[in-house]
Structure 1
Amino acid sequence: MLIGEVARHSGVSTRMLRHYDSLGLVRPTGRTVGGYRQYTTEDIRRIFHVESLRSLGLSLRQVGRALQDPAFTPSALVGDLIRQTEERLRREQELLDRLRAVEHSAPTGWQDVLRIVELLHGLNSSSAARRQQTVLTSAEEMPVSTDMLAAAVLSESDPNVAGALRWALARAGGDGIARVAAGLSSANGDIRQRAVLALAEISGDEANAVLAEALENPDAAVRRHAALAVGGRGDTAAVPVLVGMVVEGANDVDAAEVLGSLAVDATLATPIMHALAGELTAHPADPAVRIRLAQALAEMPGTIALAELRRLATDPDPAVSLIAAALAGVLEERAED
């Protein structure tokens, strides 16, 4: 076939075919009766080989080497291409996120766009101090969209900056809840924890509902943070997780305080006391657990836990009995006052 026919059938332009010829990649090896060069079946097959390798991101120089050098191994080159492609995708994703942030901020003019881009640079700075300053300054001068805040909350590792971002997100209202809630199902444990901590600082029914669902999250750390937040808002659904935290010794002091605040409601005090007493029975051979439960009992309002602590004061383990007796004494003094 002549060059025009090859171009029509292959989809490769005549200009590119001539370029391949000049580089020595694909040269027509046949001749017509009139002496014109034409592409043989093998030449056309080579054109498709060139196009296939180019589709993987190889340069023409790399394509030529791959086709001409039998000893050329693809593994290292393919690995480099993968890394280059991943980096390009990362940059493209950053650009896409930046464009979406601009769109969600609903700019009314190019000055607004410039301010949004300035905010993005500040939030993505390598300096934690600058990121924090950007959040705090923008809260008054140049408000950050909730979508931008939510994304920043999930990615921020510095505790001070994270605290500022959670504060700003809580002030912004509930618009960012769905974006933050998506972080609860992330494969990254750090992101899951950042999500639940942010939700814990947002008020409103939507945040409460998401936190209540998080009590069933497979991640124990997420369940615990959710329980502290849910229980702190007066929801008894958190009681089983809070009691489990006391037993496990995970944020047990905080959990005991929340249980104590819930038990102020007389209708909740009995089931909470029953749950704590049940755990005492379930761990007769673990003094550390019984000590933590005794301390949790001491957080109960008034003297409702006094009888249980007096019973624990006779525990066969000396450490448990000593601590329980001391705590019972505190409750007795409380009753006298």
Structure 2
Amino acid sequence: MRIGEVSDLSGVSVRMLRHYDRTGLLSPSQRTSTDYRDYSPADLGRLFRIEALRPLGLTLAEVGDALDDPTMDAATVLDRLRQETRDRIHAEQELLAHLTEVSDTGPATWEDALRVTAMLTALREGSSRQRQAAALQATAFPTQDQQPVAALVASYLEEPDENAAGALRWALVRAGEDAVPALTAHADGPEKVQRRIVETLAGIDGEESTAALKRFLHDAPEIAAPATLALARRSVHTTELISALVRMVAAGTRDTDAADALGRITTEHVPPEPVITALLAAAENAPTPVRLRIVQALGDLPDAGTALGRFTADPDPTIARTAGYLLDR
């Protein structure tokens, strides 16, 4: 069978068939009287086996070994090819993610693209000092939405140096609500990560950051407390928020700040009665330290005289004296 016929039958180009011949992978069994390649049915069968193995990622030399050495460990070779393929896919995914980050900043010029690339390199591969410098240089971006926010968030949440972390947090606060989705994507992370997220959200004004802060109200006290206080400083005075502040008072978690927030809320925004009721409910059958903190919190509320009067007969003399003092002020 002449080379052109083999090419038509197999779909392998004449050029590739000649390459197979030169490398010794597939040489025709015979030649014609005029020295043309003449392929036998056995040669054609070997060609089909070659083409079946090539899509697995084998080199031509490995294809030849697989066909010529029946003892070759196919499982080991296939496992290696699988790992090499995974490595290539991972590298391609990293490249795609990098290109996407640069593209998402909407660079108008190559200078813009180079600026973003330089920042990404500093954030991922630089020292803490370089990451801090990259965050401070964010002001060089023509607009805030041209900052690589996701990379800033990832670097900030992992940054071990507090000075660099502060600079990164400042850059994210400056980015505003554009940073909120990237921050909340890590909301289920460890406590240190959650604390940094809350600290940043507290500095960002807007509906999205407020909604994001609300999801931390029922978290661990170290996380819930700053989120609660940040919400209290905004025009968010829901029953859920008031309950969270009361829990802080009862638990002794930044209770002075929580009591101040309740006092401010009842003075400026909501009637004091629901807050007083919630505090009295928390004091019911509570230990002495809890009752004392609640009495002190009641002292910051308007119209709390009747509630304080209940504690003037408290079995603990310190609580009774404190309630009496607050009533006489």
TM-score clears 0.5: yes
Q: Is the 8 A contact 2:295 2:311 kept in 1?
A: yes
**Structure 2 SS opposite 1:73:** helix
> Structure 2 vs 1, CA of residues 47 and 308 (structure 1 numbering), >3 Å: closer, same or farther?
farther
Q: Is the 8 A contact 2:242 2:275 kept in 1?
A: yes
State the match for 1:318 in structure 2. none
- Counterpart CA distance in 1 for 2:12 and 2:225 is 61
- Counterpart CA distance in 1 for 2:320 and 2:66 is 82
1:81 equivalent to 2:79? Answer no
Unpaired stretches in structure 1, ≥5 consecutive residues: 315-320
Q: Is the 8 A contact 1:153 1:194 kept in 2?
A: no
**Structure 2 SS opposite 1:131:** helix
Amino acid at match of 1:121: T
State the match for 2:236 in structure 1. 235
Percent of aligned pairs sharing the same letter: 29
- Counterpart CA distance in 2 for 1:256 and 1:203 is 23
> Structure 2 vs 1, CA of residues 169 and 18 (structure 1 numbering), >3 Å: closer, same or farther?
same
The equivalent position to 1:291 in structure 2, one of 286, 289, 295, is 289
Q: Which moved more, 1:221-230 or 1:154-163?
A: 221-230
Q: Is the 8 A contact 2:237 2:269 kept in 1?
A: no
Alignment of 1:133-212 (within 5 A): 133-139=133-139, 141-142=140-141, 145-146=144-145, 147-156=147-156, 157-158=158-159, 159-184=162-187, 194-212=196-214
Amino acid at match of 1:291: P
- Counterpart CA distance in 2 for 1:39 and 1:194 is 71
Structure 1 residue 6: deviation in Å? 5.3
CA deviation map 1:6-27 (0-9, x unaligned): 55566554444444454455x2
Q: Is the 8 A contact 2:20 2:27 kept in 1?
A: no
Unpaired stretches in structure 2, ≥5 consecutive residues: none
Amino acid at match of 2:230: A
Structure 1 residue 130: deviation in Å? 1.7
Structure 1 residue 152: deviation in Å? 0.8
Amino acid at match of 1:211: L
> Structure 2 vs 1, CA of residues 90 and 268 (structure 1 numbering), >3 Å: closer, same or farther?
farther
What is the TM-score when the length of structure 1 is the normalising length?
Answer: 0.69
1:99 equivalent to 2:99? Answer no
Q: Which moved more, 1:253-262 or 1:268-277?
A: 253-262
The equivalent position to 1:47 in structure 2, one of 50, 54, 58, is 50
**RMSD, matched Cα:** 4.2
Structure 1 residue 148: deviation in Å? 1.5
Q: Is the 8 A contact 1:295 1:327 kept in 2?
A: no
1:277 equivalent to 2:280? Answer yes
Q: Is the 8 A contact 1:6 1:44 kept in 2?
A: no
**Structure 2 SS opposite 1:124:** helix
> Structure 2 vs 1, CA of residues 163 and 327 (structure 1 numbering), >3 Å: closer, same or farther?
farther
- Counterpart CA distance in 1 for 2:250 and 2:65 is 66
- Counterpart CA distance in 1 for 2:257 and 2:59 is 60
Amino acid at match of 1:232: R
What is the TM-score when the length of structure 2 is the normalising length?
Answer: 0.70
State the match for 2:132 in structure 1. 132
Structure 1 residue 326: deviation in Å? 3.8
Which protein has the larger Cα radius of gyration, Structure 1 or Structure 2? 2
Q: Which moved more, 1:166-175 or 1:124-133?
A: 166-175
Q: Is the 8 A contact 2:116 2:148 kept in 1?
A: no
Q: Is the 8 A contact 2:237 2:270 kept in 1?
A: no
CA deviation map 1:169-190 (0-9, x unaligned): 3234434444444444x67776
User: What is the count of residue pairs matched by the alignment?
Assistant: 312
